[in-house]
């Protein structure tokens, strides 16, 4: 009987050691998975300078036909950010929208920014989110801070977070620390500064690039005090911002674009989504002689060097791509017998009568590896790799069986003790 007791005790000790090792391995696997996830997000943060999505807020604060150029300014920026990858869902356009269909417009339904009229900025794909009298100071501040009515549609909301880079562009008539909204009200430099501070406190942005084209534009960012803001303007204190005279269109009858915005857009036309151009390159392109005003830059609140900040960090979209380092399994090869059967079937098909056009169109054809419906190597790899949670789930089921075995062993041992005492 003592031999039986020792055997049972040894069995229980072995089971205890097995359980300890097993759950230790499960814990180690979970730790490794967490470390891998953390490394992925750290790498993504490094690769995208801390941001995962880009937004653009484009504001034309003017209205009426004689301010045609301000609408062309905003529409030119709209076309550029859209071309560089920011989707319409991430672009908020505030526009009076009274130029394209104005009775004085010789080219109805169109807005041009040059006398040659090579490109219609209005086009077929324009999406104006705030139109006409919706372009107000209150709506602009509510848009930035997110303090909107629950019934407001998604297209009128700035759905940003603490990993969003935001490009804010404003154009219109202004002066020392103010910008007029449709000749009806004004927004001050203090208003915008306080709105940006609310956004920072509410974690609504990662970085902001503020650009404004108006008279004495540089005064509009003089009151900013929130971190991670880069700002630029078209003119200094006491200086006007002019229209681009050599781009006037006599058929339209008014100036079609402002000088500062014209040269900024001219530079941006030279870059694409993969461009390495930096904000330092953009600012170095400023020429007071051509612009006819002294554009300014404020970067003391910005925590990155301008030479390391890409233009596409604000004007372009963000694409998340992960490169797989593991070897990718090849597709299973056919055996010689399978190949022989396939060749026989194909020869029989060629010897049969030619089918009708409808039948031939519905016949199955071999799919090449380059066909869109053929699974890519990355998808094949991901589809044949079991997720980590499934591995852990299987380990948990094994642990349940082990725990059941231990309980059963304890019950048997207790019964044997009782029988030995009897």
Measured CA distances, 178 to 171, 191, 193, 260, 282 (Å): 12, 9, 12, 18, 25
Say what the pLDDT of residue 134 is.
95
Average pLDDT, the chain: 80
Integer-rounded Cα radius of gyration of the chain: 33
Q: Which position has the higher pLDDT, 28 or 210?
A: 210
In a domain, 288, yes or no: yes
Is 405 within the bounds of a domain?
A: no
Q: Per the domain annotation, does 14 fall within a domain?
A: no
Nearest to 261 by CA among 298, 221, 291: 291
Res 379 pLDDT > 60 = no
- pLDDT (tens digit per residue) in 304-362: 999 999 999 999 988 766 556 666 666 555 556 666 665 666 666 555 544 444 444 44
34: confidence class by pLDDT, cuts 50, 70, 90: confident
| pLDDT recorded at residue 264 | 96
Asked whether residue 364 is assigned to any structural domain, the reply reads no
Q: Tens digit of pLDDT for each residue in 53-71?
A: 999 999 999 999 999 999 9
Assigned token pair, 28? 């180690």
pLDDT tier, 363 (very low <50, low <70, confident <90, very high otherwise) = very low
Spatial contact of 179 and 220, defined as CB atoms under 8 Å apart: yes
Q: Per-residue DSSP letters for 175-232?
A: ETTEEEETTTEEEEHHHHHHHHHHHHHTT--SEEEEEEESTTGGGGGTT--SSSEEEE
The CATH number of residue 104's host domain is 3.40.50.1460
Whether residue 115 is contained in a domain is answered as: yes
- 347 versus 269: the higher-pLDDT residue is 269
Domain count, the chain: 1
344 located within any domain: no
**Relative orientation angle of helices 2-47 and 388-421, to the nearest 10 degrees:** 160
Domain with 234, as residue range(s), is: 50-315
Domain membership of residue 325 (yes or no) is no
pLDDT (mean) for 124-141: 93
Cα 141 from chain centroid?
23
pLDDT of 164 reads 95
247 and 262 Cβ atoms separated by less than 8 Å: yes
Instruction: Please indicate, yes or no, if residue 258 is contained in any of the structural domains.
Output: yes
Catalytic residues: 173, 215
* Per-residue pLDDT, 51: 81
Asked if residue 157 lies in contact with residue 146, where contact means CB atoms within 8 angstroms, the answer is: yes
SS3 54: strand
C-alpha to C-alpha distance for 78 and 84, rounded to whole angstroms: 10
């Amino acid at each position: 009987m003592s031999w039986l007791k020792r055997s049972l005790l040894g069995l229980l000790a072995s089971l205890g050691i097995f359980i300890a090792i097993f759950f230790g391995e499960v814990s180690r696997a979970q730790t490794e998975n967490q470390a891998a996830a953390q490394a992925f997000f750290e790498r993504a943060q490094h690769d995208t300078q801390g941001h995962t999505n880009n937004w653009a807020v484009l504001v034309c604060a003017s209205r009426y036909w004689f301010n045609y150029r301000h609408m062309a300014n905003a529409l030119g920026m709209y076309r550029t950010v859209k071309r560089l990858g920011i989707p319409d869902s991430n672009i908020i356009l505030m526009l009076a929208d009274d130029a394209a269909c104005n009775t004085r417009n010789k080219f109805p339904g169109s807005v041009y920014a040059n006398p040659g009229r090579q490109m219609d900025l209005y086009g077929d794909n324009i999406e104006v989110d705030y139109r006409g009298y919706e372009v107000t100071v209150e709506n602009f501040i509510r848009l930035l801070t997110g303090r909107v009515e629950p019934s407001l549609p998604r297209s009128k909301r700035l759905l940003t977070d603490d990993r969003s880079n935001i490009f804010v562009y404003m154009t219109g008539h202004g002066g020392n620390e103010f910008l007029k909204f449709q000749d009806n009200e004004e927004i001050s430099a203090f208003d915008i500064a306080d709105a940006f501070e609310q956004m920072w406190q509410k974690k609504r942005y990662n970085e902001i690039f503020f650009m404004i084209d108006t008279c004495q534009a540089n005064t509009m960012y003089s009151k900013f005090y929130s971190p991670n803001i880069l700002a630029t303007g078209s003119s200094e204190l006491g200086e006007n911002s002019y229209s681009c005279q050599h781009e006037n269109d006599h058929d339209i009858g008014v100036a079609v674009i402002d000088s500062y915005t014209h040269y900024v857009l001219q530079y941006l036309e030279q870059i694409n989504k993969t461009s390495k151009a930096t904000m330092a390159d953009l600012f170095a392109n400023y020429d007071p002689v051509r612009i006819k005003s002294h554009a300014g830059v404020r970067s003391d609140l910005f925590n990155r060097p301008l030479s390391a900040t890409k233009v596409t960090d604000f004007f372009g979209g963000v694409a998340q791509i992960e490169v797989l380092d593991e070897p990718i399994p090849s597709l299973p090869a056919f055996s010689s017998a399978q190949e022989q059967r396939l060749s026989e079937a194909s020869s029989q098909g060629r010897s049969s009568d030619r089918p009708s056009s409808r039948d031939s169109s519905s016949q199955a054809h071999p799919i090449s590896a380059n066909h869109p419906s053929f699974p890519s190597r990355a998808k094949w790899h991901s589809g044949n790799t079991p997720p980590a949670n499934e591995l852990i789930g299987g380990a948990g089921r094994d642990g349940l069986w082990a725990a059941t075995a231990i309980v059963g062993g304890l019950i048997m041992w207790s019964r044997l003790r009782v029988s030995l005492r009897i």
